[in-house]
Structure 1
């Protein structure tokens, strides 16, 4: 009997040992739990930490570019024009904060009220403001320059002081995004484009802005899509030149103006496309950013569109006559729709601005095509492009549940 009892004990001990051994084996080979996901990095808009990797999906946002028109409108006109941005589904407006308007005659005498109304009206509608700081008053211009407000500042420190004061005034009003100059690669920077002089201005202005508002977003002046000649520097060539001088360390994004009319943005021509130069052509802007250590820096399209009248011939999209300078209203509508779909498919583009809201009566030359880029005519009636752009933006947002309203 005792032998049977001892035998049972031995069997029980063996079974318990086997079970313990099996459990230990399972535990030993169980995969370790995955480490917790790294916390999302944060940083200013345009910083590498804040941006998705190239090729990943990016939420495209939309804006309406007004140049220097809102400042001079009546209250009723201003309200109606900004209401258009909301009706279109835009989240942004781009407007000139022109140095020559605010400090026109005497250093230190400011006319801030001219821009106050714009900032306040935009904030009341929940619109983000991209303020383009540019254009030199007569007292601050390079000596001998005859191009008026487009003349480069004689002293970058004076321009930087203005940007600092503007930031102090408008950051509390919700303005945190700044573009330094407009199209510095063409004679908007006069007497002729100068990458070194522009880079100096850009660096000093960026430091001034961020000394007041460290979280501000600073954009490089919108590059005009041009070829190089005596008075113009091609957009890619200019970007490469300022990048070599360290300009990319002073900005959170670059901006670009790819006008493609009388072609669609999606069209491919034997001469290439301004839109291909964003990220698809041999010497595209995105590749230059990557070459100079900014592979995730976003590209903002702060102007693009098409005029519906001008001094030359008109294209309806089916044929392009010689000396074509503008398009029909119907083709402008197609261009607007195509811009949204083409840009929405490019993950390098962060924001798309249409230029402009309404045909401009402020342009002196009645023959100039620059008067006719509006979604509305001079009398305020809507062109077909207004509804086309509105529908295209709505369709994009519907296709992207994460898109901002």
Structure 2
């Protein structure tokens, strides 16, 4: 049900509200909401925002994008961007709490911030909030593992006895539909095989005031799809036995061949109200909700399902990394706890390689006085989460030539002592040392000097190699592909002293540019050519910073995920050995504050996964242990083809990553699977993509080698997996699904 709320506020009231919140206005335009407006509990509310001049209350015909922030995104569903036309913008809000909800709306033209608070009213209905037990208290689950569903009751109303839970992917396809029972709270005993979290005395059985009680659903729930999902729950007066119930929910793999899926599903007789479908090659039983069911309440939320990271992500040749927790900068207990939490998230997302910056001035507080305790804490924290640590060593101390880069013999001697001390102390606990940050800019104080930087690289390489041949020596670290600087750096045999050349494409320079607009493929090829001319074609190339910001002027969150997939895919096709996303988490709370890199995280500042986190997790599973094959085009679609290496935990075959160049473009492409297999396709956020010719394929013979699978491709990247001989029916191993591997990291 939709409730239309006209949103306006008298200008005087708007000014008073802004003043009360301490918000500075330019006097040009603020966004207001009707002072006594409210939201209905767990019902869609259509809200219209109005731009006004705060001094005159006259509406302002403002056109452009608004940015919306809410401090509790789990309790309030609201778009993060709104399009304002002629001074108005409309949005649908869904409140999941009885508490007053808070919004802040940023208008970038005048840079005004408008705080808005709306009360939530239950209208005499019981509040029911559904959630899965997730990771780190977030709406996050691990794909393929058993899930526990829970519900929290609040307010007054009729206690439900059953719940119809539907989970859909971002394309709207059902991946789970279950009818579950809710504890009736009849007594300390448990009814309907439902386990209560704790015994609760019997309240009034129908209308009651329920104080934040949490009840646990029955029966195991298991998702077979990673990605960005939506959860919709309808609570009913009927218990689960009174609703359609499938005969069982045991995992059954039937393959991705449409010719095998339909007959297999047809052989599975089910009770009335239960249907079957295929999700990622698994037969899934969907329990329906009868139209005769009595609806008590309703809830809706988002859910991120992450795949388990295969152990091959720990291998040296794994190409995915993240600029992670910046734990070395943490000094107090709260900051250290925050950084430790970030490392746990890094582990869950995958991409087990990490970069941490070691600031010379923080590690050597005075000449020959080292803060080894701080460095020990950092190194041990990464090892505790099985993360492979690379350090960027940079930032001169104030006592070293007034904070300039180490170029004098005395400063170089001190630098060498610090480097040697680290390598001796940590050995292979630190797997690489990247020398400085952006020496082709004013980060090399007082001005860029390639000859001086070459001496620093030589000194560092000598100290590392003098202790151990293991850690990689990484040089370059240029801002962008500064090919002239790189060529000068690698001249006269210096390339023989290092293992890796690195480039940083940080969010400050990326803006809204696509990887293709940044000429990522061409620039990578030019750098490879410089290495070839220097006689060191075996040297690795790393991107130690790649990212796009979701602050105003950057990309939106869905675009960030899109750009991420394109960037990593293009880098892999171009022979880049490792790419580190910049950053793991936003460092600023409000999307419009700070610099670009403060909002390039895979997580926001409250640890909410952005779509880019889902895309990164999916990407690091699918594109591990691959070899670039070729890039081709079909009409307006670009097809990047990788061969799955024999040592991969994935079945042999190919993976294609496909997209079109411009928003709004579409192209119908055809791909023929390796005999006698089929193709499985998912988009960048985990939604399964069906072939356009699925009906024709379903009537063909299983394993027919003369079939082309046709897919409609758009601007959003799609992964198409040639699953080869994986079509034979088999009994899957525990936790086996499209996105898990035989050996996995828990």
For residues 325 and 460 of structure 2, the distance between their equivalents in structure 1, rounded to whole angstroms, comes to: 20
The TM-score normalised by the length of structure 1 is: 0.70
Match of 1:373 in 2: 600
Q: 2:324·2:342 contact (CA, 8 Å) conserved in 1?
A: no
Q: Structure 1: state its 5+ residue gaps.
A: 1-57, 227-234, 315-325
Match of 2:420 in 1: 164
Return closer, same or farther for 1:361/1:262 CA change in 2, 3 Å cut-off. Answer: closer
Superposition deviation, residue 183 in structure 1: 1.3
For residues 139 and 264 of structure 1, the distance between their equivalents in structure 2, rounded to whole angstroms, comes to: 42
SS in 2 for 1:179: strand
For residues 207 and 292 of structure 1, the distance between their equivalents in structure 2, rounded to whole angstroms, comes to: 20
The TM-score normalised by the length of structure 2 is: 0.39
Instruction: Summarize the alignment of residues 358-369 of structure 1 with structure 2, pairs less than 5 Å apart.
Output: 358-361=585-588, 366-369=593-596
For residues 290 and 201 of structure 1, the distance between their equivalents in structure 2, rounded to whole angstroms, comes to: 23
For residues 118 and 69 of structure 1, the distance between their equivalents in structure 2, rounded to whole angstroms, comes to: 6
Match of 1:244 in 2: 491
Superposition deviation, residue 343 in structure 1: 2.1
For residues 248 and 218 of structure 1, the distance between their equivalents in structure 2, rounded to whole angstroms, comes to: 10
For residues 67 and 126 of structure 1, the distance between their equivalents in structure 2, rounded to whole angstroms, comes to: 14
Query: How well do the aligned residues superpose, as a CA RMSD in angstroms?
Result: 2.6
Match of 1:384 in 2: 611
Instruction: Summarize the alignment of residues 14-163 of structure 1 with structure 2, pairs less than 5 Å apart.
Output: 59-66=317-324, 68-72=326-330, 74-104=335-365, 106-141=366-401, 148=403, 151-152=405-406, 154=408, 155-163=411-419
- The yes-or-no answer on 1:192 pairing with 2:447 is yes
- Larger % of helix: which? 1
Q: Structure 2: state its 5+ residue gaps.
A: 1-315, 627-643, 650-743
Does 1 or 2 have the higher relative contact order (CA < 8 Å, sep 6+)?
1
For residues 152 and 264 of structure 1, the distance between their equivalents in structure 2, rounded to whole angstroms, comes to: 36
SS in 2 for 1:301: strand
- Larger % of strand: which? 2
- The yes-or-no answer on 1:264 pairing with 2:514 is yes
The alignment of Structure 1 onto Structure 2 pairs a total of residues equal to: 308
Q: Which residue of 344, 347, 361 corresponds with 2:572?
A: 344
Superposition deviation, residue 297 in structure 1: 1.1
Match of 1:395 in 2: 622
For residues 59 and 102 of structure 1, the distance between their equivalents in structure 2, rounded to whole angstroms, comes to: 30
Q: 2:354·2:390 contact (CA, 8 Å) conserved in 1?
A: yes
Instruction: Report Cα offsets for 1:248-273 as digits up to 9, x if no partner.
Output: 122111011235441222x2x4xx61
For residues 562 and 455 of structure 2, the distance between their equivalents in structure 1, rounded to whole angstroms, comes to: 41
Return closer, same or farther for 1:331/1:382 CA change in 2, 3 Å cut-off. Answer: same
Superposition deviation, residue 60 in structure 1: 4.6
SS in 2 for 1:302: strand
* Misfit runs of 4+, over 3 Å: 66-71, 150-154, 258-261, 398-405
SS in 1 for 2:547: coil
Superposition deviation, residue 274 in structure 1: 3.8
Match of 1:47 in 2: none
For residues 60 and 214 of structure 1, the distance between their equivalents in structure 2, rounded to whole angstroms, comes to: 20
For residues 353 and 472 of structure 2, the distance between their equivalents in structure 1, rounded to whole angstroms, comes to: 14
Q: 1:160·1:201 contact (CA, 8 Å) conserved in 2?
A: no
Match of 1:329 in 2: 557
Return closer, same or farther for 1:253/1:355 CA change in 2, 3 Å cut-off. Answer: same
